[in-house]
Amino acid sequence: DAATTPHGLACPAGVVSHTGLAGLALGGGYGWLARKWGLTCDHILAAQVVLADGSIVRASPDEHADLLWGLRGGGGNFGIVTRFRLRLRQVGTVHHQVGVYSLAEAAQALATYRVFAENQHPDMHAVGCLKVAGRQDWIPRSLWDQPALFLTAVWLGAPEQGPEAASALFDKAEPAGSRSRQLTYAELQALGDHGEPHGNRYFTKSCYLEDLTPEAVIAILASAQDVRSPLSSIDFEYLRGEITSVPDAASAFPRREAPYIYTASAQWKDPSQDAGNIAWTRSSVAQLELWHYGGAYVNYVQDEAATKVREVYREDRYDKLTALKAEYDPTNVLRSNQNIEPARAE
């Protein structure tokens, strides 16, 4: 299950504590540690895999190295992984600081975020979120129950250096309210748990963005203003860092060089509101088409045409993946996923 241990060891992982390790790792694995240490899939050293014909193999640099390549970002297309060998990282206490802004202040705050994020230290990971503000004590009452911008800075270096490291963001974009504290990595991972409970209805669309231009920000803020459910959110972050240190050809994971990732996540409870919330999510991503970088993060792809998987992996990589699929699952038994079909014999 979780990609953390009680001893402060971790693999770069997602931002809820119940994230399943297998799906996270096989699809890539963005998270708080990705800019500092790379993707979760980059930490797969070996795997035990049950193939579609029932045989069991070990994928490692010395055995079935082609399969190991495919497992690092190719999803659950080639077999069922029953055991991982992972490289872990030592993570101690982190500095966590968040500021909230009204939508009227958001454009200026995001201009500051853009400069900060694209020049941030490797030990810093800054993210943005647009959602309806809650009623926490540190949030001004004027913003309660209103769409607002939240900027979060997580400092992974020495915790005492965190406030100074984050000041370049929050001193230049002074928030209406803020909260600063030190957390263990496990506590950091659990921060999102309350906001994504089991049992609600969800629909997510995502894309990579070339840039967070003023024009793109206008479109993003319009989506935030038009949100259909108080439970929904728009999340975005600047990537790169150590994600780009792994050669592009070294794994199946595509588009390591993508600058920003943008995700519109609709969440609601009433089935009668399905259509409106799904439409909002699709529109939020579609109206940013002018700034799309291309492709998508496969773990966030849902309800797409089969051709989307080819677009995700790009043509040359996709052809290699279909050949790998033909070798390990020639009849496409494992197809209830973002499916890579086996190459057909000439």
Give the pLDDT confidence score for residue 345 in this predicted structure.
63
Give the pLDDT confidence score for residue 3 in this predicted structure.
44
pLDDT in tens, 252-302: 999 999 999 999 999 999 999 999 999 999 999 999 999 999 988 988 887
Length of the chain: 346
Give the pLDDT confidence score for residue 185 in this predicted structure.
92
How many other C-beta atoms are found inside a 10 Å radius of the C-beta of residue 279? 13
Domain 9-90 is found in CATH 3.30.465.10? yes
Give the sign of the dihedral formed by CA 324, CA 23, CA 29, CA 158. Answer: negative
Selected from 3.30.1300.10, 3.40.462.20, 3.40.50.300, 3.40.50.1100, the CATH number assigned to the domain covering 93-300 reads: 3.40.462.20
Give the pLDDT confidence score for residue 140 in this predicted structure.
98
pLDDT in tens, 13-36: 555 667 788 999 999 999 999 999
With a cut of 50, list the residues of the chain below it in pLDDT.
Answer: 1-9, 11
Give the pLDDT confidence score for residue 4 in this predicted structure.
42
Domain boundaries, the chain: 9-90, 93-300
| CA-to-CA separations, 119 to 88, 126, 153, 307, in angstroms, rounded | 27, 11, 13, 35
Q: Which pTM value belongs to this model?
A: 0.91
